[in-house]
Structure 1
Amino acid sequence: MIGCFGKLPSSADFVSLHGAAEEVCEFDAWLQSSLAAMRYRDDWQALFDALPMCFFTYRARNGNWLLGGLLSSRDASQRRYPFFIFQLLKGDDSTGLVNPFTLGELFSAQIKPMLHQAVQGADCTRLFERIKALRPLQGQDLDLFRRVHAKFLHDFSFTDVARALHGSWPGFDSATALAHLQLGRASLLGDFAGGIELPLPAERGLKNPTADLWLTWLARMSEHRALPAVSLLADDFMHPQLYCFPARHASCAYRLLSGCADPRQHLELLSPLTTVPRLHDYDRPLEHVIDQFVDALDATPV
């Protein structure tokens, strides 16, 4: 199922195509709580309007997934709320989902211009027709892109990823980044109501695979090897980032995206450390570096 929900300048209220689905209602409530948590600021509307497009994954309580993209918008009365286009993946179909951003790359490319045109006042009827014409992901797509992700983990090293990250994040240091992840393990295993901020390369061919790399890394660190409940890929032109929220009750997404979150609400990988971080064999394939990292975690008390 493919649909949309949110506010548009061409409508006086919410617009919806399959927006009454249980999973969409859940995601809507999550967005509403995140937006409400930022409204205490006098400049919240300006912060909201300036945010980049985000591509998202959301795991509903029933085990189904939403994949899609969202963009800050408003209705005809200037009331702010995002507009998003989504695709629903049933839990049975998405079993073993490990690489949602690579899997949804074509879908994201198709909906990106639609989102821009929609928030600029495009006709809703024509927009709905274009959304209905989109091809939903099939089981064979999941199998194919799961193999693509496995090949990426086998063929690329962490040195390759770090080199790509330096173009957008010159201060990225491999040892420091992984040390931050290690220090954040207790939060990940606990009931952490914040988010994790992860840098991505601006290079088009590596942005989504690196996002899925971070998701795989976090899943391996989690108690049940599960992907974070919610992830947002902020598609900033020069400084893309991935924001992961292990718990659905986290309400700090918009504060993180706009850079006004309390430091206790997020973990990030770029700030310097006072201790000397542990070194890993970064020239080995990514799958090996992840295994080495997780083995070291398992040998360290939380």
Structure 2
Amino acid sequence: MQYAIFGKLPRRADFIRINASHPAALELDCLIASSLRLMSDTDGWQERFLSAPPSSIFFRSRDGRWSFLGAIRPSQDEAGRCYPLVAGVITAEKTSNSSLASYLLANELFLSGLHEHLTSAMENAVEMLACRQFFEEEHPISASSLADLEPLAQQLMSRYNNCTTVQELEMLLQSETPTGLDHLLLGFAFHAQLLRRFKSSMPAQCFKLPLPSGTGEGILMAATWVGLYQAAIANHDQPPLRGILLFPDVDQRMILAPGDFTEHMMALAFGHDADQSIYIHPQDSNTPWHSNHEWAEASYVIGRQLSNSRLLLSQLHDILNGIAARIS
């Protein structure tokens, strides 16, 4: 386990690299650079970049050996050259889809503190020393602390799922998107089915999901979405999620990438107006699974269950597990 910091600061001319030679940091750096090259072909990209909100990122390396959890702040150097300031921790990849929800929740305070330090560093370059000290002395991500934090996060998720109804989730979803909860959850399951069948032949796409305002509530809802995704693909040998972007404070949304995490998705962190084709639209009748007889059966089952406004999230998990088990 180690930390990495790289990117630009407004009052410095150089490119900052602290522990940034790790393969996972280099891969993320290359992905960010590719996303900026993509954006640079459009007018006004620098203004959009600099006005983009901060984001949190979970990123798995392409070889599956490493994961990066950290914060991203759009920035520039003193000459006005745009590049974000990125900081996070790199761990040997042991986080399965099933444990990712509690992993995110366990690190809520870490991400919040990291964003504060990056804000200070951008306002005063000297504060970068404090950011480095935060990693070396104060950050809660360690083998021993996670051993304590993750069980607590799992308990919190369990209590939340046992007292929260699907109606609350539907209200959040309806306020931001035309997609119904039934279509979204079946989209999780049937898109995963296509990934299993066609693997690298599948086009890289992602889900865009709403979050409530506020960092704490945003992380909890992000963990909830990840948990529901896991329930919808249970009982299958599914490739791990490659990337997650969180925008809890301003845009109140998250990006969830089941397959490849591309420069088009990375550019969403920098205000890029992406083509709608990179998003999975579960409500679209043209999606391939809408003609699948298994989808018709599953749609009937989940539709009937969701008509019960008192249905709890914990019960929904069980329903999704059952549906996932029946999808070939």
Q: TM-score range by the shorter chain?
A: 0.7 to 0.9
Deviation at residue 32 of structure 1 after TM alignment: 1.9
Is 1:146 matched up with 2:150? yes
**Residues 151 and 41 of structure 1, relative CA distance in 2, 3 Å threshold:** same
Instruction: Report the alpha carbon displacement of residue 140 of structure 1 after superposing the two structures with TM.
Output: 3.9
Aligned length: 297
Q: What displacement does 1:23 show?
A: 1.0
The equivalent of 1:78 in structure 2 is 80
Task: Give the match for residue 317 of structure 2.
Answer: 290
Residue in 2 aligned with 1:52? 53
The answer to whether the aligner puts 1:261 opposite 2:274 as a matched pair is: yes
1:105-141, CA deviations, whole angstroms, 9 ceiling, x for partnerless residues? 1211221111112223422445434443333523343
Which residue is equivalent to 2:104?
Answer: 101
Give 1:197's aligned residue: 208
Q: Are residues 1:280 and 2:305 paired?
A: yes
Native 8 Å contact 1:3 1:18 kept in 2? yes
Task: Look up the equivalent residue of 1:20 and give its one-letter code.
Answer: S
CA distance, structure 1, for counterparts of residue 5 and residue 131 of structure 2: 10
| 8 Å contact kept, 1:64–1:90 | yes
Specify the code of the residue in structure 2 equivalent to 1:283. R
Deviation at residue 241 of structure 1 after TM alignment? 1.1
Which of the two has higher C-alpha Rg?
2
In structure 2, relative to structure 1, the CA distance for the partners of 1:134 and 1:192 (3 Å cut) is: farther
CA distance change for structure 1 residues 283 and 224 in 2, over 3 Å: closer, same or farther? farther
Q: How do residues 171-186 of structure 1 correspond to structure 2 at under 5 angstroms?
A: 171=175, 176-183=180-187, 185-186=189-190
Does the 8 Å contact 1:52/1:235 carry over to 2? no
Distance (whole Å) between structure 1 residues aligned to residue 265 and residue 119 of structure 2 = 21
Query: C-alpha displacement at 1:185, in angstroms?
Result: 4.2
Against the structure 1 CA distance between its residues 91 and 170, is the aligned structure 2 distance closer, same or farther, given a 3 Å change threshold?
Answer: closer
Q: Residues of 2 paired with 1:88 and 1:7: CA distance? A: 20
Contact 1:200/1:210 (<8 A) preserved: yes
Provide the residue aligned with 2:125 in structure 1: 122
Say whether the 8 Å CA contact 1:164–1:203 is kept in structure 2. no
> Per the alignment, do residues 57 and 255 of structure 1 end up closer, same or farther by CA in structure 2, a change over 3 Å counting?
closer
| CA contact 1:218–1:227 (8 Å) conserved in 2 | no
> Once superposed, what is the RMSD of the aligned Cα atoms?
3.2
Instruction: Measure how far apart 1:159 and its partner are.
Output: 4.9
Of 263, 274, 281 in structure 2, the residue corresponding to residue 251 of structure 1 is 263
What CA deviation, in whole Å up to 9, does each residue of 1:136-167 have, x standing for no partner? 5233433434333433443234854653785x
- Name whichever structure is richer in helix by fraction: 2
Which stretches in structure 2 are left out of the alignment for 5+ residues?
A: 196-201, 291-298
Counterpart residue type for residue 314 of structure 2: E
**178-187 or 26-35: which moved more?**
178-187
Aligned mates of 2:181, 2:318 — CA distance in 1: 16
Structure 1 residue 53, shift from structure 2 partner: 0.9
User: SS where residue 12 of structure 1 aligns?
Assistant: coil
When the two structures are superposed, what TM-score results if normalisation uses the length of structure 1? 0.83
Name the SS for the 1:58 alignment partner. Answer: strand
Tell me, which stretches of 5 or more residues in structure 1 are unaligned? none
Equivalent residue number for residue 88 of structure 1: 90
> Structure 1 vs Structure 2: percent identity of aligned residues?
19
Query: Matched residues in 1 for 2:9 and 2:177: separation?
Result: 41
Partner deviation per Cα, 1:250-296 (whole Å, 9 max, x = no partner): 22125545362111101367x79899982435634423212212422
Note if contact 2:212-2:248 (Cα within 8 Å) is conserved in structure 1.
no
User: 1:139 and 1:128 mapped to 2: Cα distance?
Assistant: 19
Q: Distance in 2 between matches of 1:284 and 1:144?
A: 31
| Worse overlay, 249-258 or 60-69 | 249-258
Matched residue SS, 2:5: strand
CA shift at 1:24, angstroms?
0.6
Contact 1:57–1:230 (CA<8 Å) still a contact in 2?
yes
Partner of 1:6: 7
Q: Is the 8 A contact 1:198 1:268 kept in 2?
A: no
Cα distance in 1 for partners of 2:203, 2:179 equals 24
Matched, 1:135 2:139: yes
- Tell me the equivalent position of 2:37: 36
State whether residues 196 and 243 of structure 1, in contact with CA within 8 Å, keep that contact through their aligned partners in structure 2: yes
Cα distance, 1:229 vs. partner?
0.8
2:245 pairs with 1:232: yes
